[in-house]
Amino acid sequence: MANALRDSGREGFLAGDIDWDANNIKVFLYDEGADAFNAADDNLDDIVAGARIATSGNLASKTVTAGVADAADVTLTAVSGATVESIEGYKDTGTESTSRLIFNIDTATGLPVTPNGGDITIVWDAGANRIFKL
Amino acid sequence: MNGQLIINIKVVGERVALNLDGRINGSMDWSAAQAISRELKALAGAAIGMVCYKFSVDGRPAYIDFEPALALNLANGLYQASLKAEEHAKAEAIARDTAILYRAGAPFGLSDHPGIIELAKKEAAWNTDFRRAMPGGVKSAEAFGVPALRRGAPKVTTH
């Protein structure tokens, strides 16, 4: 794998079901050892709860300028659990079965990471692509 | 026949028109022109004396004798004209193949005909069926940044 949009994410953007800067977008630390990455997964309920080591609050300060998705860096507090292999982004509707998975990032400085009970901060790339660019 | 035979070959759309001093005056499709070209070349290559070739005009045979060199010139002329006629006959298919190349990112085409190139550009730009012709489909052009995870110090619990 590589950092990529999920098909459910692409579909959501094209169908107008995902509004990056208006919807609640969250990320979680994904233990792929507990639930292997599956490109066919499309909603949050497709990934077992035990594989979601820590979930962020809503991403803040989201922007969409020039098709580039960006947001403020996000901190997950007091993270403990199994080693995390990737970061998964999704649209939170409040219902797992309708919360679309948007992207998966498995290439990042510091991944994989083993939580130690302390905070984990995700610092988004400050380059041209930020989180991702459509 | 002598070497003074005046040969006039023209491309008329998908057909090749041939006039041999008025003795043969008609047109044929590009594949027939290529077949005649091949036969004339073979005959010219093997000829010891004159080359006699049987044309069929309106279902009737017409025999023309050529010097071997003239037969070769006629063969080459017919072949070149047949290629242009074939290009005209297959313009749509050539444009579609060229469009697939364009969609795949190849910066070259299969024809230098301006009309075909223009058609290929339109097909490449608007024909969504070409997604099926791309190996693995058309790749998404999304790009990702590379974030960094910073793990803080472990929580210290005090009793």
pLDDT over threshold 90, residue A114: yes
Contacts of A103 in chain B (CB under 8 A): 144
d(C-alpha B5, C-alpha A91), whole Å: 81
Domain map of chain B by residue range?
Answer: 7-89, 91-133
CB of B15 closer than 8 Å to CB of B31:
no
The minimum CA-CA distance between A76 and chain B, rounded to whole Å, is: 10
pLDDT digits (tens, 9 = 90+) for B120-158: 888 887 777 776 666 665 566 789 999 999 999 987 766
Amino acid letter, A133:
K
- pTM above the 0.80 mark? no
Which of A119, A132, A134 is opposite residue B145, by nearest beta carbon?
A132
Mean pLDDT on B78-95: 93
**pLDDT value at residue B58:** 77
Which of B141, B143, B154 is opposite residue A118, by nearest beta carbon?
B154
Q: Which among B48-62, B63-77, B131-145 has the top mean pLDDT?
A: B63-77
Mean pLDDT on B65-80: 92
Contact at CB, A120 and B148, closer than 8 angstroms: no
**pLDDT value at residue B139:** 64
Which two tokens mark B41?
Answer: 């070349």
DSSP string over chain B: --TT--EEEEEETTEEEEEETTTEEEEEEHHHHHHHHHHHHHHHHH-SS-EEEEEEETTEEEEEEE-HHHHHHHHHHHHHHHHHHHHHHTHHHHHHHHHHHHHHT----S---HHHHHHHHHHHHH-GGGGGGSTT-PPP--EE---EEEE-PPPPP--
ipTM of the complex as predicted: 0.88
* Portion of chain B with pLDDT greater than 90, in percent: 40
pLDDT over threshold 60, residue A53: yes
DSSP 8-class letter at A127: S
At residue B1 the predicted structure's pLDDT band, cuts being 50, 70 and 90, is very low
Q: Which of B94, B100, B129, B131 is nearest to B114 (CA)?
A: B94
The minimum CA-CA distance between B154 and chain A, rounded to whole Å, is: 4
Mean pLDDT on A48-71: 96
Contact at CB, B151 and A117, closer than 8 angstroms: no
Contact at CB, B149 and A118, closer than 8 angstroms: no
pLDDT over threshold 80, residue B21: yes
Strand, coil or helix: A19: coil
Strand, coil or helix: A68: strand
Minimum mean pLDDT range among A66-80, B54-68, B141-155: B54-68
Question: Which of B128, B138, B150, B158 would best serve as a mutation to test chain A binding (most A beta carbons within 10 A)?
Answer: B150
